[in-house]
Amino acid sequence: MTADNLIAQGQRHEQNREFAAAAESYLRAFELAPTDGRLPWEAARLYLYFVPDAALAVRWFEAALPLLDNPFMARDTRYHLGLAHTFLSDDARAAVRFEEVLADTPSHVLACIELGKLLTRRGDHARAKDLLQQAVLHNNMRSTLPEMFPDGQKGSGHAHALAWMNLGRLALVAGDDEALGQTAVTHLLEDLDDHARGMTLANEARAAGKPHSAIVALDGLLARYPDHENGGELWFAIALDDLKRLDEVVEMATSIAADDPDWAARMVSEVLRRDSAHPAALAFRPAAHPS
């Protein structure tokens, strides 16, 4: 078969979602056309995102890199290599590749995010925060003024969510920056209507042994979605059992008693189960059900 025949075969495999077979076809074509950097690149793309096999992705992106004439494609290949090394838990090599991308294009949004995540894991919170905030800024500029960027990459809601989610993780899970955490939750909820990520931040903060940070995320979530059942349940559990904020639980019960007397009564009952002499709980009077 000719290289063109093998490329067509690989494309058919891709259309049929036979990604490993498609990668093999592209690599067989590369044997026949060893100066065509697109062929190992396409195989590497499939190995990274669809097969998946990050080690093979690294091998073939590395093979493609010296053969690529397009500088934007070469830069993005370095980004993909960084991501592949991340998947292999090789943060040192990943950091090198992301730094190369940002040295070439400081406004590369996803490289800012990925390096910010990596530096958060390393404990370099100051630079991680700077990179993630740059990601927000550059993503906004690429969304509103795409003509400023010759590489043609535009901003996206996905990148906006990733940047703010990882700023939230930096603030509430890895660190203790309540103000930044509140800002991140606000953007996730108001800009993106993403209550799932708000819940994820709360759960991750609690799992990290940071109940106060979890409450920050939940306060933002419940301010926007006061009827969010899972958010309310988690707030209740943390306030009762992690923080022992019995007074706040009774205050919450009092504030919702008119709208949800059963839930309010349950909250007060749980307070009394933990402190049978709690004055505010003993004084609580649930609203009567309408007849």
pLDDT band at 287 (very low <50, low <70, confident <90, very high): low
- Output the CA torsion sign for 255, 261, 264, 268: positive
Q: Is the pLDDT of residue 177 over 70?
A: yes
Is 215 in the same domain as 266? no
Residue 157 lies in a domain: no
Share of the chain above pLDDT 70, in %: 98
Which residue range is the domain that position 209 belongs to? Answer: 174-243
pLDDT band at 40 (very low <50, low <70, confident <90, very high): very high
Is 225 in the same domain as 283? no
Is 224 in the same domain as 249? no
* pLDDT at residue 166, rounded to an integer: 98
Mean pLDDT over residues 176-188, rounded? 96
Is 261 in the same domain as 226? no
Distance CA 20, CA 35 (A): 22
Q: How many helices (H) and strands (E) does the chain have?
A: 16, 0
User: Could you give the C-alpha distances from 220 to 188, 193, 209, in angstroms and in order?
Assistant: 10, 12, 19
Question: Cβ of 218: how many Cβ atoms within 10 Å?
Answer: 28
pLDDT digits (tens, 9 = 90+) for 226-285: 989 999 999 999 999 999 999 999 999 999 898 889 999 999 999 999 999 999 999 997
Is 236 in the same domain as 250? no
Is 236 in the same domain as 214? yes
Mean pLDDT over residues 215-229, rounded? 95
Query: Under DSSP, is residue 276 helix (H, G, I), strand (E, B) or coil?
Result: coil
Q: How many domains does the chain have?
A: 2
Is 227 in the same domain as 184? yes
- Please give the structure tokens belonging to residue 43: 């195989």
- Output the CA torsion sign for 200, 205, 206, 211: negative
**Cα–chain-centroid distance for residue 186?**
15
CB neighbour class for 119 (10 Å; exposed up to 12, middle 13-18, buried from 19): buried
Is 178 in the same domain as 239? yes
Question: Cβ of 284: how many Cβ atoms within 10 Å?
Answer: 19
User: Of 220, 243, 266, at which residue does a domain stop?
Assistant: 243
Residue 74 lies in a domain: no
Share of the chain above pLDDT 90, in %: 91
Is 235 in the same domain as 257? no
Distance CA 19, CA 47 (A): 8
The whole model's pTM is what? 0.91
Phi-psi domain of 177 (left: phi exceeds 0; alpha: psi -120 through 50; beta: other)? beta
CB neighbour class for 85 (10 Å; exposed up to 12, middle 13-18, buried from 19): buried
CB neighbour class for 105 (10 Å; exposed up to 12, middle 13-18, buried from 19): buried
Mean pLDDT over residues 90-114, rounded? 98
Residue 26 lies in a domain: no
- Please give the structure tokens belonging to residue 6: 């093998």
Residue 201 lies in a domain: yes
Distance CA 176, CA 169 (A): 10
Mean pLDDT over residues 52-73, rounded? 98
Give the contacts of 150 (CB within 8 A, at least 6 positions apart): none
CB neighbour class for 145 (10 Å; exposed up to 12, middle 13-18, buried from 19): exposed
pLDDT digits (tens, 9 = 90+) for 152-169: 889 999 999 999 999 999
Residue 165 lies in a domain: no
pLDDT band at 291 (very low <50, low <70, confident <90, very high): very low
- Please give the structure tokens belonging to residue 38: 């697109």
Is 236 in the same domain as 182? yes
Distance CA 169, CA 187 (A): 13
Mean pLDDT over residues 28-32, rounded? 99
Residue 178 lies in a domain: yes
